[in-house]
Chain A
């Protein structure tokens, strides 16, 4: 229908030439009228009569011109622009109200924008691969071992590759944190200090599975998975920039990583990352064919696969389950009850942070509602005083709808201003988050205020007036009865406002209870004994490159030599080393057998430690003895933790008993338990202690060790001296992950602390707004009732009872709101169960304390107006009337 389009076009063009069109039309009407006048005159009417008849025949010019304008442009737009001018004038006229409204809206919308940009970065924004939704993560499950998503055994991985028809490709990688595969750090040597790089070893098809192209050069070929090829690396954009000065000739150059030469074959584009932003370099896997053919016991690979077109994840799951059960039959020794788990790759990355994020996003949603309710309340408070303005407007012919529209536009002006300010707040919040809690976000998330976040901000700003503006607009537009000189409050107004106060209190109670539960969790968590005394202890990691220290004996000698050098430092009280530090969450596990039992224990964690390790950590000995320097390599002894003593030996003292790695039929040597140490926290303060053994380093040397130093003075100063001492032994060794144990403990609850503070902050704002709401409504009502109160006082009302009466009026909605809030909280907080530690969602003390807090705060907010009421002087009030 072309004519519709032409009409729209013509209406739009008319906006620019409004004046000219109006003048032309007036002229046209005049000449029409003149023609009519002449006609009537010819018919015999005199001049005046002819003129009157002509106007009757044609219609009044003012009306015609008005109709014409409506038809010509956009009448609604004109009206809206007019309303906008009125609104701006109104907003400027009451700066106090405007300021409060814009500020609270800025907080409400800003918090939502900031949280949305986090949710966007972590959960929504697509990953930088082609069709990222078709990528799945595959992990292994095993109910016997309690595995829900374990890394994959290499031989299972290569069988999957052969036996499935649902994926276009399956790739494996190794070296990222958090997947149990451990860190795979490499050291870039050349000129100057060795530089530690976060590396990822990938099978040759990884980049094909992700469907990404390099910026320069090429990515891996399939046969570069194996060891018989030249060693190759692909650089991340960041590393190319920082370590190689963006050298365009980098491809083809050779670099040295941990003492081995590698060829640079490609550079990835800047937006690429896999699987997190901290990976700097991708190396070919370069493992033996045997490694992928035979290793079915160690689980170490991360696996990502791309679904074939037309295959759903459900179908893929069915086929992979079938593959897994075939493997179970073929290799009962290793694969009994070994299942697979498929999950969208993106959601597997986001899993850990999702609950906390959704909690906080929900919380800012509540905050937003509270802000809206608060502003609605403020606006209703003004409704009565604006009643006369509304009456006049209606008397002048404004329709009710026009008044509502105008009031809504006022709300919109406030909301847009608040939204713009909120956007600035969100930008500031982002900067603050990156500065003070850089580790709070998962490593793949790129936090920026994206276009989507801005769009969200605008959408919320446009939506907000509908939430907080409609009720006040409808109510205000009614105007007031002409007889009311604003001396009594309109009944309807008061009940709406009381309802809003109750709603606000209810929302606030839910937020405060949520925050209270998190705070109690955090307190519980920080009071957990980590199993060591961290004051004055500093730790760092050293990796002994296997090129220079290929044999166990060389590694052992290096560790002992370095320990001796560190011990010789004057500030150092004692020194120890372990293959895996407590609280890091990384460990090796395996089967174990207790002598006399014919069933294997599963998932025993083991670490190798030097004799002084536990003494340096300050971990108490429960029974037996610590390790000793005189324990030789052939001693076959071990320490165990309390959790092991409890679960393997039923709590009886295991000292003197023997156990071994592997199953009963395996031929591993027996080890005698010489001592039991207190549990050191392993994955986090929140996770229950698992059985763990500590073998002497002499029995099981390791290429990567964490050294701990108990110092006499300032631990920071010790680091420099320690670095010198280490490099005195080997100048190419670099100290990494330098951290004091106090910080280690603190960082381990960093996420919990941050989310607790955020929620507590939101709750505090909500509480403040609720107080404003309660106070505002009551003090307004007291002002309206001054005359009535004056009369009561004049008639001899008891001031105490008067005080009580006002208090009761103010507390009424608070009590109703609190009750509603407590009930809502009991339901809503069930959703945050997974985020709590040592506290139940229905924790009564928290609910009780919240109710008490709300009551106390509300009483304080009510007593000011009540006190004012008692102070009313009847003589003055009555004279004023």
Chain B
């Protein structure tokens, strides 16, 4: 544990999953989890099981769809794909997130005045 690892922020996992599916096309749960870890440069502790709560939530909202297929290791696996309303939501959420993080960055840069 050379560098400090980050706990995942509540609610951000959904956005990461959406983005992953948008960027990589249909993926199974394991693939999504691994991809998120890789992209974070392994600085994110992900209890991989929690990805399924996020996947179910997104499915229930019809932002992603799921279907059974065969994985690269020749195993039966469930593949998830982003839907059109998922893409719309991703765009909206991304914009919101960027606005928020920009705002946070500005606020945190403030220094006490003389």
Chain B residues near A57 (CB-CB < 8 A): 47-48
- Nearest Cβ distance between residue B36 and chain A, in whole angstroms? 13
Please measure, in the bound complex, the distance between the C-alpha atom of A64 and the C-alpha atom of B50, giving whole angstroms. 8
- Give the distance to chain A from B113, nearest Cβ to Cβ, in Å: 42
**Is B73 part of the binding interface, using a Cβ–Cβ cutoff of 8 Å?**
yes
Enumerate chain B residues within 8 angstroms of A6, measured Cβ to Cβ.
Answer: 60-62
Cα-based distance from A34 to B30 in the complex (angstroms): 10
Listed in ascending order, the chain B residues whose CB lies under 8 Å from chain A are 28-30, 33, 47-50, 52-53, 56-57, 59-63, 71, 73, 75-78, 85, 89
A7 to B33, CA, bound (A): 23
Q: Mark A25-37, 1 if CB is under 8 A from B, else 0.
A: 1011101101110
28 residue pairs A–B, Cβ–Cβ below 8 Å: A2-B62, A3-B61, A6-B60, A6-B62, A7-B61, A10-B59, A11-B60, A25-B52, A27-B76, A28-B52, A28-B77, A31-B28, A31-B30, A31-B76, A32-B28, A32-B29, A32-B48, A35-B30, A35-B73, A35-B75, A36-B30, A57-B47, A58-B49, A59-B47, A59-B50, A64-B49, A68-B52, A68-B56
Check if A59 sits within 8 Å of B49, measured CB to CB.
Answer: yes
Q: Are B63 and A24 in contact (CB under 8 A)?
A: no
Cβ contact within 8 Å between B48 and A72: no
Q: Report Cα–Cα, A6/B56, bound state, in Å.
A: 12
**A60 to chain B: closest residue by CB:** B49
* Residues on the B chain within 8 Å of A32, using CB: 28-30, 33, 48
Minimal beta-carbon separation of A16 from chain B (angstroms): 15
Chain B residues, CB < 8 A from A59: 47-50
Given contacts A3-B89, A11-B60, 16 further A-B contacts (CB under 8 A): A2-B62, A3-B63, A7-B60, A25-B52, A29-B49, A31-B30, A31-B76, A31-B77, A32-B33, A38-B73, A57-B47, A58-B49, A59-B49, A63-B49, A68-B56, A72-B56
What distance in Å separates the Cβ of A20 from its nearest Cβ neighbour in chain B?
12
Q: Decide: A35 and B71 in contact? CB cutoff 8 A.
A: yes
Q: A742 at the A/B interface (Cβ < 8 Å)?
A: no
Docked complex Cα distance between A72 and B55 (Å): 11
In the complex, which of the residues A11, A24, A25, A35 has the most CB atoms of chain B within 10 Å of its own CB atom? A35
- Complex alpha-carbon distance, A305 and B108, angstroms: 74
Instruction: Determine if A67 is an interface residue (Cβ-Cβ < 8 Å).
Output: yes
Q: Is A598 an interface residue (CB 8 A)?
A: no
Chain A residues with CB under 8 Å of chain B are 2-3, 6-7, 10-11, 24-25, 27-29, 31-32, 34-36, 38, 57-60, 63-64, 67-68, 71-72
List the A side residues contacting B49 at CB < 8 Å: 29, 58-60, 63-64
Contact of B60 among A10, A27, A36, A58 (CB under 8 A): A10
In the bound complex, residues from chain B placing their C-beta under 8 Å from that of A10 are 59-60
- In the A-B complex, the 3 residue pairs with the smallest Cβ-Cβ separation, listed nearest first, are A59-B49, A3-B61, A7-B60
Contact B78 A28, beta carbon cutoff 8 Å:
yes
> Within the assembled complex, what's the spacing in Å between the Cα atoms of A34 and B74?
12
Instruction: Tell me which residues across on chain B come within 8 A of A31, comparing CB atoms.
Output: 28, 30, 71, 75-77
List chain A residues, Cβ under 8 A from B47. 57-59
- Shortest Cβ distance from A6 into chain B, in angstroms? 5
Q: Which residues on B sit within 8 Å (CB–CB) of A63? A: 49
Bound: A59/B48 CA distance, A: 7
Q: Is the CB of B56 within 8 A of A71?
A: yes
The chain A residue with its CB closest to the CB of B89 is: A3
A14 vs chain B, min Cβ distance (A): 9
In the complex, A180→B3 CA distance in Å? Answer: 99
Distance between Cα atoms of A7 and B77 in the complex (Å): 24
Question: Closest B-chain residue to A61, C-beta based?
Answer: B49
CA distance A165 to B57 in the complex (A): 65
Q: Contacts of A7 on B, CB cut-off 8 Å?
A: 57, 60-61
Known: A27-B76, A28-B77, A38-B73. A67 touches B60 (CB 8 A): no
